[in-house]
Structure 1
Amino acid sequence: MDTLRFFTGMFRSLRTFILRREVEIVGQCHMCGKCCQDIVIQDQGNWLTSKRKFKKICEQEPEYERFRILGRDGKGHLLFGCKLQNEDGTCSCHEDRLSLCRNYPSKSIYYQGAWIEPECGYRFKSIKFRDVFTRKKPLRAPRFSKVLDQEIEQAEKKR
């Protein structure tokens, strides 16, 4: 599975580089709670693998005490769950959640070859090679001024 994720991430990065079109995150939170389970946390660019390091982070940033260690993934990274998740999976502090939670999902998930859970209201939207080759999508995003001119032209036609 790690090999599949690695190559998926590499392919996605290569496609983005070639097509010069960044992935978009579309949708909205359905408060399904899937993002509150099996969380991996980074500290200074490294995934946490040590319980001792996690305790040290909690001493420095007490808001991280909301997370409990659930176990480890296949690479030895600590997996966390949130103590503030309600029985129905919703967040009990949705308005005051950490930036880690507020910024989910990030584009880095896409480029690491991971997927968003199907229950989640968010989706990754990317331009595919076939869309460009079949001319369904332009290779480059249109210039803003061109789009604005088109909108003005359409508004004038309606008058």
Structure 2
Amino acid sequence: MSASSVEIALVKAGRTKIRYPASVVFDDGTHLVVRAPWAAPGVRDFGFVRFEPGDVFTEHYWRDRWYAVKEVRTADGTLKGWYCDVTRPAVVGDGRVEVEDLDLDLWLSADGSTVLRLDEDEFEASGLADHDPQAAAEALRTLDALEALARRGPAFAEALSH
């Protein structure tokens, strides 16, 4: 990978869930922003949004925060919304960005009218609260904070730049 590209690796329960190339847009040593096309094969219909070939993800990772935020746009640039993964802080190095998915997610629609907490059942079933209670507590605090920020509307997108 060149200096302007990285491999994104999303790890879940110790296994790589997906990996894909992305172009680096910004990196200040703490906050990394990359851009990548929808990396999974075909369409993924969540009911509240569809991710499909042609969609472009601008992904925000932090080395000191317990989440990653993905701004999702159609091929023509229309904003679909933001998909937020609760993760351990990103590990960046050697042309790779690795994030450990902690099962909790949040969706914020483009118009700000829909804020959904996702996968709380998966989080509960993961056993994280038993084998790493501090990480589980941080994950829940992070989801609560993301939801509160999302419910403030436009402040959400602005907060990504800080």
TM-score of the two chains, using structure 2 as the length reference = 0.21
Greater fraction strand: 2
Greater fraction helix: 1
User: Which has more radius of gyration?
Assistant: 1
